[in-house]
Chain A
Amino acid sequence: MSQCFLKINNLKVNVEDKEILHGLDLEIKPGETHVLMGPNGAGKSTLGHALMGNPRYEVTGGSIEFMGIDLLEENVTDRAKAGIFLSFQNPLEVPGITLSNFIRNAMEQRGGKKIRLWDYRKALKKQMALLNMDESYADRDLNVGFSGGEKKKSEILQLLMLNPKFAILDETDSGLDVDAVRTVSKGVEEFQKNGEGALLIITHSTRILESLHVDYTHVLVNGKIVESGDASLVDQINEEGFEKYLTQN
């Protein structure tokens, strides 16, 4: 078989010595959009952080293979350079570094070469317009004093600018009003359109999915994927909730 894109095999993850994921399997192919749903505390965010390599999340078993490399051997920086991106649920504030300088710096670090300022500002301006972000945000310190919605837009802006091969969106829609969800969703759609990038959208609501193309849906309950299906599963959960999966356990 040819080399796979992302393959998670029997993944077990501990947080503060407590096992949260108990052997999770998932395979994602290039360009696919997967949705991961589940009730609070199921371990959805844990999967995101384990993929990104958060040192607080300890992988105790299983494997993650990404484009031929053993991801568990790589540190956070190298995973990012390999093309993995995580949109944080609670993005951190970074005083003294402007949003614009930060993204350019990150792009140059990843690409290993300088980017012309003119080209960069042009691209940034375009993506900010798409996200209804006021241009002045480019010269504000990264996330400092941003509202919840602005922080999430800043994450999606980074997604669009860095254009990773595989992006995980961790509850990007939580705490946002209807308009903001629509804007964020538009940004994600742009990412889908852009190219080959695959997506794993972690959410416990379905609002963000309304206008997005979804290939697969998975339901995570108590640290295990209990059901997988196509986009229609989203609608089903929308109507029935997670109750049926909870009683199964």
Chain B
Amino acid sequence: MKEKTYVEDVNRTVYDVKDLETEDKFFKVDSGLTPEIVEQISKEKNDPEWMKEFRLKSLDIYNEMAMVPWGPEIEGLKMDDIVTYVRPKTKMTADWKDVPEDIKKTFERLGIPQAEREALAGVGAQYDSELVYHNVKEEVAAMGVVYTDLESAMHGPYEEMIRDHFMKLVPPTDHKFAALHGAVWSGGSFVYVPAGVTVEIPLQSYFRLNAPGAGQFEHTLIIVDEGADLHFIEGCSAPKYNIANLHAGCVELFVGKNARLRYSTIENWSKNMYNLNTKRAKVEEGGRMEWVSGSFGSHVSYLYPMTILQGDNSVMEYTGITFAGETQNLDTGMKVVQNGKNTSSAVNSKSISKSGGISTFRSAVVIGKNADGSKSSVSCSSLMLDRQSRSDTIPAIEVYTQNADVGHEAKIGKISDEAVFYLMSRGIPEEDAKAMIVSGFADNVSKELPLEYAVEMNNLIRLEMVGSIG
């Protein structure tokens, strides 16, 4: 038999520790979706009246809307079986000591408090449907930066700001799961960075979905005011169960004039997760939106961060990697709509498919008719590691102005024999050479991440090259 390079699956033992959720510690609503359940969630969360109405209206939209006719199958997802709300019976705290012991243990295994001490300006940790911990460093808070859970913000001085922005970028009519999100959303973060403030070190939210058969629907709303600067990191994980879990979060980002926001995600949901997340940013004049996205987990993903470059001279950059292994169907990519003059977008995407995994890069670049002088360049490459897998590239480009400069390039293939030969000619054994090439392939993304995340990502793509003899 021919020697076959074997790239090992992402090692996920640390994420797979299951914590038993007993009824005395956790409050759950019934599975499925009815107006009663939505009202119960609303009551449980002490929503303002407008939010309760918003939820019920979203539920109507959800019931009316059809599923998308494209993309991976989601037949395994039975909405009637999904528990939309699971709340640990604990209050959110700003002191790590007050987090219940078992939840604390879960996050400590994932390295959350340690990361906060070392490299973060603030941390939020969500366990199932609710945040259990939220803290922001004093000096950051002193600059006027607000970083809290959306629910408490909704009852405070920022209520109006939230009402003006909440699900305005991603309306419930956007697609079926946006409507679902509007009806049952819970948890997530609200961040406001006042004009001119630069947050030097990143803020981070970590999402952990622990309950089997549950859904997580957190809402992240970030407003970066004029001239301000923020890096926000999002991490996700869940243990693997035999029944489907659903993540239908929503991220809405508002980047003000000349402001900059970098949004990094390392997603490592377990392989029973349906990850139907919606992320969208709107960028004003001279603003800059940067996405860094690593998708490793979930059974099925639909994930396409979208940017609307509304203001003149606004900029978007997207760097992403998707690694689809056994039983995974990851449909990821990006969308950008360039409306302002002289806007520019740059996309660099990588994907790897192995052991029957399916990865799809799907994108849309739209240059509007007033986007005079705009530019866009998209580059995507896909690596096939065996014949059992699949890799598709489905980009769409629409240009409505003459004065534009749009480039697109895509490549699909296997590890280059010539590159392997070149490295071997310098004395590197074949397995090492192949491993080097695969990790080099992912390099442009890990380079964009903060160090500790780069390390995490490299652990995720731990490669083991075994030549079998026979």
Let me know if chains A and B touch directly in the complex, using CB atoms closer than 8 Å.
no
Interface residues, chain A, with chain B CB atoms under 8 Å away: none
